[in-house]
Amino acid sequence: MVMVKRGDSTPEFKVTPDKYLPHRYAGASGDFNPIHIDPELAKQVGLPGNILHGLWTMAQVAVANTQLAAGDPRALKRLSVQFRGVGLPEREITVTGTVKQADGNRVVIDTVATQGENAIIRNAEAELELS
């Protein structure tokens, strides 16, 4: 079992979505909202360009936090996030976390996803059961 204690940092995770990632995620998820895939339309509604799907970014937070359990999908018991700001393709995203509670094999992590100066997912909490 991985030993973690309150206050520990979890492994940092970095990912850069390529230009066409929102198109692939649209196909995989079924969410074809044009703000994610049409840069012109996105600009017309006041966005800087087509934006990442919040649930794709949340999936990166899930993947990042599951690293603590070597990627075992059974380990992730709960993930709660708030979406803030907008994520953009072709810019690096960093997911970081700090252990908030460690009780036996149950671990709660405060986690955040940032892109440059912008916290695009904040007040997020991941609960893992480590084996």
Asked if 17 contacts 93 with a C-beta cutoff of 8 angstroms, the reply is yes
The CB density around residue 49, as the number of other CB atoms within 10 Å, is 14
**Per rule CB under 8 A, is residue 94 in the interface with other proteins?**
no
**Per rule CB under 8 A, is residue 92 in the interface with other proteins?**
no
Smallest gap from Cβ 104 to other proteins, in A, equals 19
From 56, 68, 102, 115, residue interacting with other proteins (rule: CB under 8 A): 56
**Per rule CB under 8 A, is residue 78 in the interface with other proteins?**
yes
Distance between CA 97 and CA 87 in Å, rounded? 19
**Per rule CB under 8 A, is residue 14 in the interface with other proteins?**
no
From 54, 87, 89, 97, residue interacting with other proteins (rule: CB under 8 A): 54
Distance between CA 107 and CA 72 in Å, rounded? 15
Residues 6+ apart with CB under 8 A from 39: 49, 50
Instruction: Give the alpha-carbon dihedral of 32, 126, 124, 96, to 10 degrees.
Output: -100
**Per rule CB under 8 A, is residue 74 in the interface with other proteins?**
yes
From 62, 99, 113, 120, residue interacting with other proteins (rule: CB under 8 A): 62
Q: Which residues bind other proteins (CB under 8 A)?
A: 15, 21, 24-25, 27-31, 45, 54-56, 58-60, 62-63, 66, 71-74, 76-83
